[in-house]
Amino acid sequence: MKEIVDIVDIKKEIKKDRRAFIKNVLSGTIAGSLLMVIPAGAALDQRLPEQLPGMRGNDSPFTEKKFAFIVDVTACIGCGSCCVADKNEYNVPDGNYRTWVERYIIDDHDEVFVDSPNGGLDGYTKPRKDIPNPVRDTFFVPKLCNMCEKPSCVQVCPVGATYKTEDGFILVDKKRCVGCGYCIQACPYSVRFLNPVSRTAEKCTWCYHRVREGLLPACVNVCPTHARKFGDLNDKKSEVYKILREPHVISVLKPDMGNQPALHYLGLRREVV
């Protein structure tokens, strides 16, 4: 009975304005089919290529992945693309660096000279003139958060603002942080700083927000020489898995601190701290 009434209603509707009716039906169909394609609430342009497969549209709080970051010291040219991208991504205040590039110069008396003018943000344009002896070895070392397996920063936070997610990211809760600075002192790699604007601790997050959208971290994405590599260790086809599994000279910074970083370096020299 109700169906007949409905059909009569529709017929009335069509009679009233045929053009408007078709318009409504069509737009409804198109919008409906689009909703099935585009996940609701996603601000990011979905046409962006997915650089990390299987991340987009995953709404669970933690992923099943085990991420690793590899920096190839033998490939880095010290252009500072990574530093520029990082500053742009987070609007990092001047004088603070979530990632930076250090220049190491070792002379033939085994004396080590390290500098990092403006964190490598302006690139390296001038050679160092104060090296007394002939240079034996020189290279660039990009630095960022080591995402330790046993993070000392998490352990010392008195308010639970710094934490480790189940998929291995160490993050800082801006709303919870009171800016006491314990974590800044506890970090063996000095990657943390107190944001002068928000007065909270801040550090590299391996671009958690980008990774969860299936994008590579900003610095990895821009690196022209592919010196920065990022991937999933659970995926046996990934580049990082292959590098960490096959024989290479792979090392982490300050292994004696016992933090077990997930950031690995290829071709690192023993002089690097």
Partner 1 sequence: MEKKYKSAYYSHVIKIALILIIGGVLAVWARGLFLPDTMGQYGHYRGSDLEDQRNVEVRNHTNESCYECHRPIRLVHKAGVHKTVSCEFCHGPYADHITDGKYVAKMPVKRDMEIKTLCLRCHNEIIRARPEESIKVVAMPLHLEEKKVNVEHNCNQCHMVHDPLLWVKAAYDMMGLEMKGDKK
Phi, psi of 256, deg, nearest 5: -70, -15
Nearer to partner 1, 73 or 240 (CB): 73
Spell out, one character per residue from 45 to 74, where the chain touches partner 1: x when CB under 8 A holds, - when not: x-xxx-x---------xx-----------x
Q: Which two tokens stand for residue 145?
A: 């958060």
Contact flag: residue 129 with partner 1 (CB under 8 A):
no
Q: Which two tokens stand for residue 260?
A: 């077990």
Among 69, 97, 140, 189, binds partner 1 (CB under 8 A): 140
Nearest approach, Cβ of 140 to partner 1 (angstroms)? 5
Closest-CA residue to 167 (of 202, 203, 205, 204) = 205
Subset of residues 154 to 213 that bind partner 1, contact rule: CB under 8 A = 160-166, 171, 173-176, 205, 208-210, 212-213
Nearest approach, Cβ of 166 to partner 1 (angstroms)? 7
Contact flag: residue 150 with partner 1 (CB under 8 A):
no
- Cβ neighbours, 10 Å, residue 199: 10
Among 63, 65, 69, 78, binds partner 1 (CB under 8 A): 78
Q: Which residues have C-beta within 8 Å of that of residue 168, sequence separation ≥ 6? A: 66, 67, 147, 149, 262
Nearer to partner 1, 21 or 58 (CB): 58
Give the orientation angle of helix 2-16 with respect to helix 18-37, to 10 degrees. Answer: 110
